[in-house]
């Protein structure tokens, strides 16, 4: 394996071992909390759409809003500084601190302040900077970077923090419980807050009409840092501005729920600095607080640092709607297992970090971790501002691919790769992105190709040059493709007698590898009087898109649409077996095809079990299908769940007499090609172990395992002793 793949694999392995357990426990607690908390909202979807609309408008009007904020804040008695970049912000803040003659600054948690590395800068000027958020304080003591954008120290367990504190502070008695640690930090930081001259906060939102900043917190340290010092510096990305105070309402209802799964955090501060709170002097026993004569100073430092350029970038713009809630990290299976130290760049972590890092630090920082987004799409419905996070990851991956060295070594896959991508594209990405070509060839020469692929020299070359992990079983190609089988056999329901007509989309796996599920789909549909055609249509573009090969995917999308359009015009429905391809039609084609084409195809496309469900609901005779009374353990597919299509499979299986339990992991870990890649094999197995655990409990151990996605089936096959099947194989008449 190449050195860089080996290093990456080793780093991921070590993070799984050292930080994986703590990260997993915390992120899955947040994730479960979010599902529970948003369920209590009657108008969750509507709130998200409103939040989205507010952000869209605000970013569109941003230059005006910045001016409005400037006027309002100055009218309130504060100062606004628009910092062009990190150095500019550092310089300005250092000046404010120097003007105040301050030798100590207390800070509440702010990712934007981490982005501009203000602590290091102030410290270099001899100023003490204290992080007063307990998680940030732990990191400051440990000299570490955050592993999560909301809960920065989730990679450390209580024991671990106790060890750190006991070693660092030489406390009288060793600290042990979470209460001990909290109490110690509280007292220690209370002193720093009392002694400090400047309080620095971030801002979750800034309102243009009133000049108010909203701070969403739990501990009270942000409140204290502002109230106790007489100079307040708030650091906020320019994108944090919303037009009015009233606009905050949907965000206040969504942000805590989306992040840590709390309906609302303990404190939502709506401060309009300089705040009206008297500056306390804890020694003064004469002046009542209400009569304290003070002079508060306030500086709002708005950070551009690439954001205005992101605003002009059609693909990165959406990133600016992000309210940094962390839902996309918590709902991400890969993130749950490695955390932000692997799944993150210079400052930001989690799915959306690719957009932030590409925008504020550049593509190199995004390239470090961008491949960890598998495009499973589980985060999409969780984002309170409806950002298409996987798309941002895909676009940035494409840009990284295009920036790659054109002389790199890819003779091996040449000829297998008729794509539209630049020379220099990573050979592994090119190989997986062109899977259709390999599958065609593999099938045409099967079984020879299968023996060849498993033969030592080929496997080791694949591993060495392409980075296909030797521990994975490769797909076995069928000599007779699904389409050839169907062409020979022909349709068995005459269009004249049919209730409906469908085209069954022969995705690459169904056509060349798992032909049995295609055949089962035909039998099941025909048993309910459907006329089936299997047209000659190529790969959907999913494979290249997942490697960031956007133009290749676009070409494929056009061809698929061209081949299916006539069928749609003829009144046929499109039925898809592979959920990841259905998701292409339903979601990603929006980006790859003209709007109308996407809509037409998306509206008429159905997942096969969803279609059977519809047929049964509309009077289809369940007795025509294979009934049974099996105990089934069903793992739906990540993208299928995002489309809301898990329930249909469960309903059909139950209707036919089966007893079904479902997994509730976000992803099986395989995620298309991800689990085959040498640098990610360990992570994919670590993620998969969770699914394996759910399917090997007392209640599930003996159940028949069914799964909808090809990669999930392959993953389950490698994780369990039982051979899993596609649900349509269970319900199709023999």
Partner 1 sequence: MVTSHTDAFVESARRVDAVVTPTTADEFAATLEDAVTEPAVGTPLPFEGASYDGTPVDGAPTGAALAEAATGVTAGAAAIADYGSVVLQETGAGEELLGLYPDRHVVVVAASDVVPDMPAAFEELGERFAEGPRDAILATGPSATADMGAVVKGVHGPRDVHVLLLEDR
387 binds, among partner 1, ligand SF4, none (CB under 5 to 8 A by kind): ligand SF4
Of 153 and 557, nearer to partner 1 (C-beta) is 153
292 binds, among partner 1, ligand SF4, none (CB under 5 to 8 A by kind): partner 1
**363, two tokens:** 């593509």
Residue among 56, 145, 197, 278 that touches partner 1 (CB under 8 A): 278
287 binds, among partner 1, ligand SF4, none (CB under 5 to 8 A by kind): partner 1
Question: Are the beta carbons of 217 and 265 closer than 8 angstroms?
Answer: yes
Residue among 3, 143, 172, 286 that touches partner 1 (CB under 8 A): 286
3-state secondary structure 350-419: CCCHHHHHHHHCCHHHHHCCHHHCCCCCCCHHHCCCCCCHHHHHHHHHHHHHHCCCCCCCCHHHCCCCCC
Question: Are the beta carbons of 503 and 566 closer than 8 angstroms?
Answer: no
> CA 676 to CA 5: how far, in whole Å?
13
328 binds, among partner 1, ligand SF4, none (CB under 5 to 8 A by kind): ligand SF4
**How big is the CA angle at 269 (ends 263 and 275), to the nearest 5 degrees?**
175
For 313, the 3-state DSSP assignment is coil
Residue 67, CA distances (Å) to 88, 199, 299, 323, 370 in order: 19, 25, 15, 21, 35
> CA 646 to CA 666: how far, in whole Å?
12
Instruction: Restricting to residues 68-127, name those near partner 1 by CB under 8 A.
Output: 76
Question: Are the beta carbons of 665 and 333 closer than 8 angstroms?
Answer: yes
| Smallest distance, partner 1 to C-beta of residue 118, A | 21
Instruction: Restricting to residues 174-213, name those near partner 1 by CB under 8 A.
Output: 177-179, 181-182, 185-186, 189-190, 193, 210, 212
Binding site for ligand SF4 (CB under 6 A): 258, 322-328, 352, 382-385, 387, 389
Of 220 and 538, nearer to partner 1 (C-beta) is 220
Stretch that binds partner 1, among 262-270, 363-371, 543-551, 681-689 (CB under 8 A): 262-270
Helix (H) or strand (E) holding 70: helix 62-76
Of 233 and 325, nearer to ligand SF4 (C-beta) is 325
Question: Which has the closest alpha carbon to 360: 300, 411, 310, 289?
Answer: 310
Of 228 and 349, nearer to ligand SF4 (C-beta) is 349
Long-range pairs for 602-606: beta carbons < 8 A, 24 or more residues apart: 604/568, 604/572, 604/573, 604/574, 605/505, 605/573, 605/574, 605/575, 605/576, 606/573, 606/574, 606/575, 606/576, 606/582
| Smallest distance, ligand SF4 to C-beta of residue 286, A | 49
181 binds, among partner 1, ligand SF4, none (CB under 5 to 8 A by kind): partner 1
Residue count, binding to partner 1 (CB under 8 A): 68
Residue among 127, 134, 323, 543 that touches partner 1 (CB under 8 A): 134
Residue among 276, 456, 457, 490 that touches partner 1 (CB under 8 A): 276
| Smallest distance, partner 1 to C-beta of residue 332, A | 20
Residue among 13, 158, 402, 722 that touches partner 1 (CB under 8 A): 158
> CA 322 to CA 354: how far, in whole Å?
12
Of 202 and 211, nearer to ligand SF4 (C-beta) is 202
161 belongs to the binding site for partner 1 (CB under 8 A): yes
Of 5 and 55, nearer to ligand SF4 (C-beta) is 55
Gyration radius (Cα) of the chain, Å:
28
| Smallest distance, ligand SF4 to C-beta of residue 347, A | 13
Question: Which has the closest alpha carbon to 636: 625, 647, 627, 628?
Answer: 647
- Residue whose structure tokens are 């993953």: 715
Stretch that binds partner 1, among 79-87, 279-287, 386-394, 492-500 (CB under 8 A): 279-287
Of 293 and 407, nearer to partner 1 (C-beta) is 293
DSSP string, 556-611: HHHHHHHHHHHHHHTTPEEEES-HHHHHIIIIIHHHHS-HHHHHHHHHHEEEHHHH
Instruction: Restricting to residues 221-250, name those near partner 1 by CB under 8 A.
Output: 221, 223-224, 227-228, 245-246, 248-249
Residues of this chain that interact with partner 1 (CB under 8 A) are 26, 76, 132-135, 138, 151, 153, 156-161, 177-179, 181-182, 185-186, 189-190, 193, 210, 212, 218-221, 223-224, 227-228, 245-246, 248-249, 252-253, 260, 263-272, 275-278, 280-290, 292
């Amino acid at each position: 394996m190449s050195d860089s793949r080996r290093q990456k694999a080793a780093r991921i392995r070590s993070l799984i071992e050292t930080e994986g357990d703590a990260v997993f426990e915390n992120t899955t607690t947040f994730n479960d909390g979010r599902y529970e908390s948003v369920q209590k909202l009657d108008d969750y979807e509507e709130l998200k759409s409103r939040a989205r609309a507010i952000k869209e408008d605000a970013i569109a009007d941003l230059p005006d809003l910045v001016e409005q904020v400037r006027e309002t804040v100055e009218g309130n008695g504060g100062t606004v500084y628009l910092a062009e970049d990190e150095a500019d912000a550092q310089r300005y803040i250092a000046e404010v601190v120097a003007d105040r003659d301050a030798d100590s600054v207390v800070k509440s948690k702010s990712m934007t302040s981490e982005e501009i590395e203000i602590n290091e800068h102030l410290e270099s000027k001899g100023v003490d900077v204290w992080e007063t958020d307990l998680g940030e304080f732990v990191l400051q003591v440990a000299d570490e970077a955050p592993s999560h954008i909301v809960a920065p120290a989730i990679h450390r367990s209580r024991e671990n923090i106790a060890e750190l504190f006991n070693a660092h502070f030489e406390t009288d008695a060793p600290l042990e419980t979470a209460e001990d640690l909290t109490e110690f930090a509280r007292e220690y930081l209370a002193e720093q807050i009392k002694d400090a001259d400047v309080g620095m906060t971030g801002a979750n939102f800034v309102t243009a009409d009133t000049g108010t900043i909203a701070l969403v917190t739990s501990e009270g340290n942000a409140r204290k840092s502002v109230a106790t010092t007489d100079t307040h510096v708030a650091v906020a990305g320019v994108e944090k501005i919303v037009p009015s105070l009233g606009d905050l309402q949907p965000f206040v209802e969504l942000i805590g729920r989306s992040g840590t799964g709390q309906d609302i955090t303990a404190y939502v501060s709506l401060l309009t600095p300089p705040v009206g709170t008297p500056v306390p002097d804890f020694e003064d026993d004469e002046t009542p607080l209400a009569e304290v004569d003070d002079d508060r100073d306030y500086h709002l430092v708005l950070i551009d640092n690439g954001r205005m350029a992101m605003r002009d970038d059609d693909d990165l713009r959406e990133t600016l709607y992000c309210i940094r809630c962390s839902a996309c990290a918590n709902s991400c299976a890969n993130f749950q297992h490695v955390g932000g130290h692997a799944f993150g760049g210079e400052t930001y972590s989690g799915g959306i970090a690719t957009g932030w890092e590409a925008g504020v630090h550049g593509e190199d920082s995004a390239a470090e971790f961008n491949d960890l987004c598998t495009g499973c799409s589980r985060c999409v419905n969780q984002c309170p501002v409806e950002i298409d996070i996987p798309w941002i990851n895909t676009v940035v991956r494409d840009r990284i691919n295009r920036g790659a060295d054109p002389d790199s070594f890819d003779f091996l896959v040449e000829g297998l790769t008729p794509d539209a991508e630049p020379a220099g594209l990573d050979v592994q990405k090119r190989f997986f992105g062109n899977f259709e070509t390999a599958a065609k060839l593999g099938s045409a020469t099967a079984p020879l190709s299968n023996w060849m692929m498993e033969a030592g020299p080929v496997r080791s070359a694949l591993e060495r040059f392409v980075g296909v992990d030797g521990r994975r079983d490769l797909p076995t190609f069928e000599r007779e493709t699904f389409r050839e089988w169907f062409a020979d056999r022909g349709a068995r329901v005459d269009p004249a007698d049919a209730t409906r007509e469908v085209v069954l989309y022969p995705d690459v796996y169904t056509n060349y590898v798992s032909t049995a599920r295609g055949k089962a789909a035909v039998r099941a549909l025909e048993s309910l009087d459907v006329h089936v055609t299997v047209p000659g249509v190529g790969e959907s573009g999913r494979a290249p898109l997942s490697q960031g090969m956007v133009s290749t995917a676009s070409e494929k999308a056009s061809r698929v649409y061209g081949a299916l359009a006539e069928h749609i015009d003829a009144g046929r429905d499109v039925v898809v077996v592979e959920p990841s391809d259905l998701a292409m039609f339903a979601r990603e084609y929006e980006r790859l095809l003209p709007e109308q084409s996407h809509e037409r195809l998306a509206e008429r496309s159905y997942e096969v079990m969803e279609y059977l469900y519809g047929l049964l609901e509309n009077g289809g005779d369940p007795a025509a299908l294979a009934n049974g009374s099996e105990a089934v353990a069903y793992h739906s597919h990540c993208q299928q769940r995002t489309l809301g299509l898990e329930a249909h499979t469960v309903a059909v299986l139950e209707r036919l007499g089966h007893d079904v339990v479902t997994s509730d992991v976000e992803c099986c870990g395989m995620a298309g090609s991800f689990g085959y890649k040498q640098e990610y094999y360990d992570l994919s197995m670590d993620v998969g172990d969770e699914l394996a655990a759910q399917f090997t409990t007392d209640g599930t151990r003996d159940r028949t395992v069914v799964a909808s996605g090809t990669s999930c089936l392959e993953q389950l096959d490698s994780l369990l002793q039982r051979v899993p099947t596609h649900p349509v194989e269970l319900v199709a008449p023999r």
